């Protein structure tokens, strides 16, 4: 006969694993649903807040990479259609590797940032801090880089909401929220999947993958496929890390 305390602990552990598994199921389901809805007409508007956030992640990654490599991040424009662009400049003598890195940062920067958010969710303290940092950085970007009226309003609202969650939401909810936002960042690469496999970006000129092709020679569709696959691998591995000590296989 098992001792009552051990039986209670076993039941509590099993209940905890069940709750964690449900949370993971919701995260994966939301990721799949978001990626699919973004590919159908009207999907951008069904997921409107996440569409705007995906654009912010993408364009901020371009601008910040330019700064990290010695260039200048001039402005960020986000429009009500969900589109946007980052304007940045760099010295004319920049080598092809740095130019390619700035182009690749748009699709690949958000999954890397998202993976970090997912992994820090293992700690309640780190999850709370991450929400505050993300919300604060959204607001900071409005002050420094965002220049379109719609972008100023939309990003400010998102920043305030996320910051408020970091300050007021229950701890268990904060952990789920930071994981959810991390997943959204990871799959933001799939916001416009056809864009990864396009040479032209309309009035904005060459697509990111076409710019990489110009610098590194291999065709744009190769880089598009590589980044799409890498984003998925990053998401799966970050979830595995977050849940590895919880008795759940990802």
What confidence tens digit (pLDDT) does each residue in 90-110 have? 877 788 999 999 999 999 999
- Please choose, from the candidates 113, 112, 88, 92, the residue with its C-alpha nearest in 3D space to the C-alpha of residue 102: 88
- pLDDT over 50 at 115, yes or no: yes
| Residue 43 pLDDT | 81
Distance of CA 241 to the CA centre of its chain: 17
- Please choose, from the candidates 161, 125, 127, the residue with its C-alpha nearest in 3D space to the C-alpha of residue 53: 161
| Residue 116 pLDDT | 92
| Residue 9 pLDDT | 45
In degrees, rounded to 5, the angle at the alpha carbon of residue 40 between the alpha carbons of residues 35 and 44 is: 70
| Average pLDDT of the residues in 185-193 | 86
| Residue 93 pLDDT | 77
Q: What is the DSSP string of 66-116?
A: HHHTT-EEEEEEE-TTS-EEEEEE--TT--HHHHHHHHHHHHHHHHHHHHH
Q: Using the 8-state DSSP alphabet, how is residue 40 labeled?
A: S
Give residue limits of the domains in the chain: 40-243
- pLDDT over 50 at 2, yes or no: no
| Residue 226 pLDDT | 96
- pLDDT over 90 at 80, yes or no: yes
Q: Which residue has the higher pLDDT, 221 or 47?
A: 221
**Average model confidence (pLDDT) for the chain?**
86
Give residue-wise pLDDT tens across range 17-65: 565 676 678 888 888 888 888 888 888 888 899 889 989 999 999 999 9
| Residue 149 pLDDT | 97
Strands (E), the chain: 72-78, 84-89
Contact in structure between 47 and 181 (CB atoms under 8 Å): no
| Average pLDDT of the residues in 120-144 | 93
| Average pLDDT of the residues in 159-182 | 91
Range with the lowest mean pLDDT among 21-35, 157-171, 178-192? 21-35
**Using 50, 70 and 90 to split pLDDT, how confident is the model at 10?**
very low
This prediction has a pTM of 0.85
- pLDDT over 80 at 8, yes or no: no
CB atoms within 10 A of CB 50: 23
Q: How far is CA 50 from CA 57, 77, 183, in A?
A: 10, 16, 11
User: Residues 83-113, buried b or exposed e (16+ Cβ, 10 A)?
Assistant: bbbbbbeeeeebeeebbbbbbbbbbbbbbbb
| Average pLDDT of the residues in 193-214 | 88
| Residue 77 pLDDT | 96
| Residue 46 pLDDT | 83
């Amino acid at each position: 006969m098992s001792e009552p305390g051990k039986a209670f602990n076993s039941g509590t552990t099993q209940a905890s694993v069940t709750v964690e598994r449900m949370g993971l199921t919701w995260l994966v389901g939301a990721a799949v649903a978001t990626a699919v809805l973004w590919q159908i007409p009207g999907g951008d508007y069904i997921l409107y807040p996440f569409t705007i956030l995906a654009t912010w992640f993408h364009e901020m990654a371009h601008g910040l990479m330019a700064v990290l490599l010695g260039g200048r991040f001039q402005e960020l424009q986000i429009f009500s259609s969900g589109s946007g662009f980052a304007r940045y400049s760099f010295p004319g003598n920049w080598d092809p590797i740095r130019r390619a890195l700035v182009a690749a940062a748009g699709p690949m920067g958000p999954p890397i940032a998202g993976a970090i958010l997912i992994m820090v969710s293992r700690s309640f303290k780190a999850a709370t801090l991450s929400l505050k940092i993300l919300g604060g950085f959204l607001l900071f970007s409005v002050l420094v880089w965002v220049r379109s009226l719609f972008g100023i309003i939309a990003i400010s609202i998102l920043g305030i909401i996320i910051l408020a969650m970091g300050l007021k939401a229950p701890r268990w909810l904060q952990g789920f929220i930071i994981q959810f936002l991390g997943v959204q960042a990871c799959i933001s690469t799939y916001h416009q999947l056809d864009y990864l496999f396009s040479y032209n970006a309309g009035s904005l000129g060459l697509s990111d993958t076409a710019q990489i092709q110009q610098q590194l020679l291999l065709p744009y569709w190769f880089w598009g496929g590589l980044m799409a696959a890498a984003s998925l691998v990053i998401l799966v591995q970050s979830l595995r890390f977050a849940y590895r000590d919880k008795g759940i296989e990802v």
